[in-house]
Structure 1
Amino acid sequence: MKRARHHLKVIDLIGFRLDPKLNYSLCSSLNLVPCVHTLNLDYLQLTNSSISLIGRYLPKLKHLSVRNSFKHTNMEKGLSKLFSCCQSLETLCVSENEILKGDCFENLPKSLKTLNISCCFRLKPSAINGIQANCSNLQTLIMDQMDTLQTQQMNNIFMALKNLTSLHFSECYGTEFYEGQPNLLALGNLSQLREMHVYDNLLINDAVLRAIGQGCRSLLLLNLSMSNRGVTDTGLRHIASLRSLNELRLTGHRALSDNTLIEIINNKKLKVLVLGKCTNISNVSVVMAIRNCKELKTLDLSYCPNVNQIIFKELDKQMSTRFGRSTPTSDLKKFNLSVSRSGIHGCIPQKYSPWIKIIDHYENEGLLGSFSPGLLVARILHFPHALLRDLHPV
C-alpha cells in the first residue's frame, strides 16, 4: 500500500478472511491510499473503531462490502460514522450480519444506488424508515431471506423506492399468515423495475400477481419459481400483461395450464422460459411457445410428464428457419433444452438439429441460462468485482 498510494483504486481482501489480526492494522493504513473507491472486506471481523477509520480515511469511497463481518460486535456506531463521512457511496453490502439492527440506516447516504441486506434477520422498523427516507435514488435492492418484517413494512419501503430497477426478494416465508392479512400490493408501484427475483416467496399470491401485471410493465426478467403457495392458474394469467419480458422462470407452478401458457407466450420477445415441474402443461402449449417465440434460446421442461418427443418436429423446423444448414461452432450458440424426468426423458429422437443442446439431467435453478443478464447482475451485485478492471498499475 505504501508503494501503490494514489494509484491503488480497488482493495479486495476476501482471501485474508481467516487472519484475525488484519482488520485494525489494515484500516489504520488506509490513509496511505486515499484514492481507493472499492473496498471488499467480506468475512474479515471488524470493530467499530476499524469501520470508523474507513470513513475517516476514504471519504470518496463508492463501493463497500462487509458481508458477515460483525459476528461479535454491535457495529451500529461505526457504520453511522462511516455513512456520515462517505457521502458518495453507491454500493453497500452488509448481508449476513445477523446482529445488525439497522439503527445506523438513518445516516445512509442519498447517493446509494445498490443495497444488499440479505440475511439481516434482526433489522428493526427504524431501519426500514431509514431506507425509505434516504434511499430514494436506490436502483437495486437485494433482501433475500428477509422474512421477519411485516407485510405493511415491506409495502411502505416499496412505495418509497420508485426508481428501483432490480429487486431480489426471495426465500421469504413471511411472518403473517392469517385470513385478511395485507397483500404485498406495493410491488405494483415499481413501474421502473426491470428485474424481479421473488422465487420461493410465500407472500406472492394472485392479488400480488395482478398488481405486478398492472404496474410493472417494464419488466424484462421475472423469476417466480417455487412461489406457488397462494398462486392459481388465474393469477398466473396476469403475467401475459408484461409485454417486455424476455426471461420468465415458473419452476414448480403446477397450477399453470396450457391455455394460460399460450396467453403468456403471445409475448414474442421471450428468450428464456423455465417451466420445470409445471406438471399440467402439454405438447400443445410448448409447441406454441417454440413457434411464437422466435428469439427463444433456453427452454426447461424438466419434470413435465405430459410433454414428449413430438415437440422436436417444431424445434427442428425453427432451427432450420433460424440457421439453415449451417453448423454451430460453439455450444454457447445452441438452443438449450432441459428434459430431465419429463415425457421426453429416454425418448429423445436419434436425429435432431445440431443447433439443439439437450440437457438430460436436472440443472440447478440458478445454472440453466446462467449467463442471462438478470442472473449475471445478481452475481455481480453481491460485490462489484468487475470493477477490478479499473485497478491502475503501480
Structure 2
Amino acid sequence: MRGHDRINPILPDELILEIFWHLDSKSSHDACSLVCKRWLDLERLSRDTIRIGASGSPDALVNLFARRFVNVRNVFIDERLAISVPVQLGRRRRGDQSTLPSLKLHHVAGQSGSEDGEMESYCLSDAGLTAVGEGFKKLEKLSLIWCSNVTNVGLKSIARNCSSLRSLDLQGCYVGDQGLSAVGECCKQLEDLNLRFCEGLTDTGLVELAIGCGKALKSLGVAACAKITDVSLEAVGSHCRALETLSLDSEFIHNKGVLAVAKGCCLLKILKLQCINVTDEALQAVGIFCLSLEMLALYSFQRFTDKSLCAIGKGCKKLKNLTLSDCYFLSDKGLEAVAAGCSELTHLEVNGCHNIGTSGLESIGRSCMNLSELALLYCQKIGNCALSEVGRGCKYLQALHLVDCSSIGDDALCSIAEGCRNLKKLHIRRCYEVGNKGIIAIGENCKFLTDLSLRFCDRVGDEAFIAIGQGCSLHHLNVSGCHQIGDAGIIAIARGSPKLSYLDVSVLQNLGDMAMAELGEGCPLLKDIVLSHCRQITDVGLAHLVKKCTLLESCQMVYCPGITTAGVATVISSCANIKKVLVEKCKVSPRTRRRAGPTISYLCVDL
C-alpha cells in the first residue's frame, strides 16, 4: 500500500548490505540507491569498486567518492576514457558539501587562469592520488592508466596509506624510483605489478621493490622501460620466488636476466617475451627449470631456433597455451617437439612464422587432442592436409582463425566440419581458396556455431549462407567484402538466427532493401550493424530495419548513395538506444544534428 513501508522496519542493515553485495551490475546498485535514504546510505557502504575517466576533474571526483564510498577496495582511473558528467550534480542537500565546485567539462578560452592550468584539470594529479590513499584505507587494487601528471609524491602517499594493496597498474605513468621503492617498503602484500611504458623507472626502483615485497609478488609486466635491464630481472629471480606471470617487452633485456628468472622462479606459469636480444640459451633454461609453465608467448624472435621449442616440449609438460609470432627461424621440427611433449595444449597461435608448414601442424592434430582454439595467421606453407589432421584428432576444437593462408581451402574446412562438431567460432580473412563447399559443410555439421566471420572471401556466395541459415543460429556475423553474397544469403541468416546481435555486411554490392526488411522481422536483438559501401540499400530498407530492431546501438552507413538525410533521421528517431552513427556529414540535417549531435560520427571527406 502507498505510504506503508513493509521492508525497512523488518530487515536489518546487515541483511540489506548482504543483498547489495550480491548485485552484479552498477545499474542495479544505482536503482537500489534511489529507493530511500536508508538504502542510499547502505548502498554506498556496499560499493567496492569505482571507475573514473578523463572528463571533468579527476581530483575533485576522487575527493567526492572518498567521502561517499568508504569501503571501496578497487579504484580504476583511465585517462584514455571519457565519461559523461553533468555540470550540475543536482540540488545540494542541507549540510551536504560534497558537490564538485570546480567540475569542468570543456575548456573555455578567455577564462581566468592559464591554458595549461585548465588542461591539467583533466588529469589526475598527486593531490588526487593522495586523496585516493587517504580516503580508501582498504584499497587492494589500484589502476592508473596513462595518468601522466602523477609523480613519486602521489605514489609515496599510496604506499604509506594503503598497506593492504595487492594490485598496482602504473601503465603509462611517469613515476620514478622513489615512488616504486616506497611501494616495496610499505606494501608487503603486493602480488600484481604492471610497469608497462613507465619510462621514468630505472633498475634502482625495481630492485628495491623486489627486495621489499618479493615474497608476495606473483605477476610482473615491463615494457618500453629503457633503463630497466638484466640487473632488475636478477633481483626478481633472487627475491620473487612466488612469481607466476612475467611479461617482458624490451630490447635491453638479454639472456642473463631471463636466465635468472628461469632459475629463480620455478613456479612460473605464464611467460610473454618480446625481447630481440634473447637467444636459445635463455629459452632452453625455461624448458629446464619452469616445469609448471602453462602459457608461453614469443613475439618477434629472430635469434632463437628449434632448439628452444625442443627444450620447451621436453620440459614443460603442463603447457596449454602457445603463441608464436614472427619467429622466422622456427620450423616444423620445433612444433613437432611441442606436440610430442605438450599433449595438454588447448590454444595454439602461429602468426607469420614462415618456415612452419603442414607437417608441424599435422603433429599437433595427432598429439594434442584437447586443442580448443587454433589461429593460423599469414601461414603460407600450411596446407589442407594439416587441418584435415586437426579435424580427425581435435574433436573439442571450438574456435578456428585463418588469416591470409593461401594454401587452405574447402577440403580443409570440410575436414574441420566433419570432425569438430563443437565448433562455435570460425573467423576467416582473405583465404581465397575457401568457397561454398567448405562453408556449406560447416552449416550442415557445426550446429553450435554462433560466431562467423568471412572477410574478403570472394568465392563464398548465397548458397553457402543458405546452408548456414538452416543449420546454425548465429549471434555474430561479418561478411565484409564477400561480393557474391546478396539478399538470398542474408535473408536465410535473418530467418535462422533470431539472436543475431552483430552484423557487418559492408561492401556487399548486391545487398538490397529486401534483406534489410527480413533482418528487421527476424533479428529483433540486433545491436550493431555495418552497412558501409552497400550501394543498393536505400532509406526504405533502413526504415524497415529500425522499425523492429529497437535495441540498435550503432549503425555505420558511409558511402551508401541510396541512404539520404531522411534515412539518417529515421535511424536517430526510431532507435532509443542508439549510441553511434557513422555517416557522411552532408547527410545529417541541422535538426538531426541538434537532436543527436554527440551520437553522430562523421567520415572526413571535405578535403
TM class, shorter-length: 0.7 to 0.9
2:140 equivalent to 1:37: yes
Q: 1:64 to 1:209 in 2, by over 3 A?
A: same
The alpha carbon displacement at 1:47 in A equals 2.0
The alpha carbon displacement at 1:82 in A equals 1.9
The residue type paired with residue 35 of structure 1 is: K
Quote the Cα distance in structure 1 between the aligned partners of 2:191 and 2:137: 17
Quote the Cα distance in structure 1 between the aligned partners of 2:456 and 2:241: 41
Quote the Cα distance in structure 1 between the aligned partners of 2:159 and 2:134: 10
What residue number does 2:454 align with?
Answer: 360
Q: TM-score, normalised by structure 1?
A: 0.78
What residue number does 1:391 align with?
Answer: none
Quote the Cα distance in structure 2 between the aligned partners of 1:309 and 1:300: 15
1:330-349 aligned at under 5 Å gives the runs 334-338=424-428, 340-344=430-434, 346=435, 348=437
1:170-319 aligned at under 5 Å gives the runs 170=274, 172-174=275-277, 182=281, 184-188=283-287, 189-228=289-328, 230-240=329-339, 241-266=341-366, 267-318=368-419
The alpha carbon displacement at 1:57 in A equals 0.9
Larger Rg: 2
What residue number does 1:4 align with?
Answer: 68
The answer (yes or no) to whether the contact 1:224–1:250 under 8 Å persists in 2 is yes
What residue number does 2:54 align with?
Answer: none
Q: Number of residue pairs matched?
A: 341
Q: 1:89 to 1:314 in 2, by over 3 A?
A: same
Quote the Cα distance in structure 2 between the aligned partners of 1:130 and 1:312: 49
The alpha carbon displacement at 1:163 in A equals 0.7
Quote the Cα distance in structure 1 between the aligned partners of 2:78 and 2:413: 47
The residue type paired with residue 158 of structure 2 is: I
Match of 1:117 among 222, 227, 232: 222
What residue number does 2:129 align with?
Answer: 27
Q: 1:352 to 1:34 in 2, by over 3 A?
A: same
2:138 equivalent to 1:48: no
Task: Find the residue that maps to 1:132 and give its secondary structure.
Answer: helix
The residue type paired with residue 58 of structure 1 is: C
What residue number does 2:541 align with?
Answer: none
The residue type paired with residue 149 of structure 1 is: I
Give unmatched runs, 5+ long, in structure 1.
324-332, 364-394
Task: Find the residue that maps to 2:351 and give its secondary structure.
Answer: coil
What whole-Å deviation, never above 9, does each CA across 1:55-106 have from its counterpart, x for those lacking one? 1111111111111111xx6x11221122100101111112101231121223
The residue type paired with residue 277 of structure 1 is: Y
What whole-Å deviation, never above 9, does each CA across 1:159-198 have from its counterpart, x for those lacking one? 211111111213x32278xxxx845322212111111111
Quote the Cα distance in structure 2 between the aligned partners of 1:7 and 1:312: 53
What whole-Å deviation, never above 9, does each CA across 1:213-265 have from its counterpart, x for those lacking one? 1111101100012212x222222321112111011111223322333322221
Give unmatched runs, 5+ long, in structure 2.
1-64, 82-119, 458-607
The answer (yes or no) to whether the contact 1:305–1:342 under 8 Å persists in 2 is yes
What residue number does 1:351 align with?
Answer: 440
Q: 1:134 to 1:4 in 2, by over 3 A?
A: farther
The answer (yes or no) to whether the contact 2:67–2:135 under 8 Å persists in 1 is no
The alpha carbon displacement at 1:22 in A equals 3.6
What whole-Å deviation, never above 9, does each CA across 1:250-289 have from its counterpart, x for those lacking one? 1223322333322221221111122222222322221121
Task: Find the residue that maps to 1:84 and give its secondary structure.
Answer: helix
Q: 1:353 to 1:211 in 2, by over 3 A?
A: closer
2:252 equivalent to 1:157: no
Quote the Cα distance in structure 1 between the aligned partners of 2:353 and 2:124: 48
The alpha carbon displacement at 1:7 in A equals 1.3
The alpha carbon displacement at 1:342 in A equals 4.2
The alpha carbon displacement at 1:128 in A equals 1.8
Over the residues paired in the alignment, what is the CA RMSD in angstroms? 2.6
Q: Which has the higher helix share?
A: 2
Q: 1:4 to 1:138 in 2, by over 3 A?
A: farther
Quote the Cα distance in structure 2 between the aligned partners of 1:52 and 1:85: 9
The answer (yes or no) to whether the contact 1:10–1:36 under 8 Å persists in 2 is yes
What residue number does 2:238 align with?
Answer: 133
Match of 1:67 among 171, 176, 193: 171
Q: Which has the higher strand share?
A: 2
The residue type paired with residue 115 of structure 1 is: L
Quote the Cα distance in structure 1 between the aligned partners of 2:205 and 2:414: 60
Quote the Cα distance in structure 2 between the aligned partners of 1:312 and 1:21: 51
For CA contacts below 8 A with separation 6 or more, give which structure has more relative contact order.
1
Quote the Cα distance in structure 2 between the aligned partners of 1:335 and 1:27: 43
The answer (yes or no) to whether the contact 2:259–2:286 under 8 Å persists in 1 is yes
Quote the Cα distance in structure 1 between the aligned partners of 2:239 and 2:456: 43
What whole-Å deviation, never above 9, does each CA across 1:340-390 have from its counterpart, x for those lacking one? 23422x555573343356533289xxxxxxxxxxxxxxxxxxxxxxxxxxx
Task: Find the residue that maps to 1:41 and give its secondary structure.
Answer: strand
Q: 1:352 to 1:160 in 2, by over 3 A?
A: same
Q: 1:124 to 1:360 in 2, by over 3 A?
A: same
Q: 1:114 to 1:182 in 2, by over 3 A?
A: closer
Quote the Cα distance in structure 2 between the aligned partners of 1:23 and 1:34: 19
2:170 equivalent to 1:106: no
Q: 1:261 to 1:53 in 2, by over 3 A?
A: same
Quote the Cα distance in structure 1 between the aligned partners of 2:431 and 2:439: 18
The alpha carbon displacement at 1:208 in A equals 0.8
What residue number does 1:142 align with?
Answer: 247
Q: 1:175 to 1:138 in 2, by over 3 A?
A: closer
Task: Find the residue that maps to 1:169 and give its secondary structure.
Answer: strand
Q: 1:139 to 1:349 in 2, by over 3 A?
A: closer
Quote the Cα distance in structure 2 between the aligned partners of 1:51 and 1:42: 14
The answer (yes or no) to whether the contact 1:252–1:277 under 8 Å persists in 2 is yes
The answer (yes or no) to whether the contact 1:340–1:359 under 8 Å persists in 2 is no
| Percentage of identical aligned residues | 22
Quote the Cα distance in structure 2 between the aligned partners of 1:362 and 1:123: 43
The answer (yes or no) to whether the contact 2:129–2:150 under 8 Å persists in 1 is no
What whole-Å deviation, never above 9, does each CA across 1:137-179 have from its counterpart, x for those lacking one? 1111111x21212222222222211111111213x32278xxx
Quote the Cα distance in structure 2 between the aligned partners of 1:201 and 1:279: 19
Task: Find the residue that maps to 1:275 and give its secondary structure.
Answer: strand
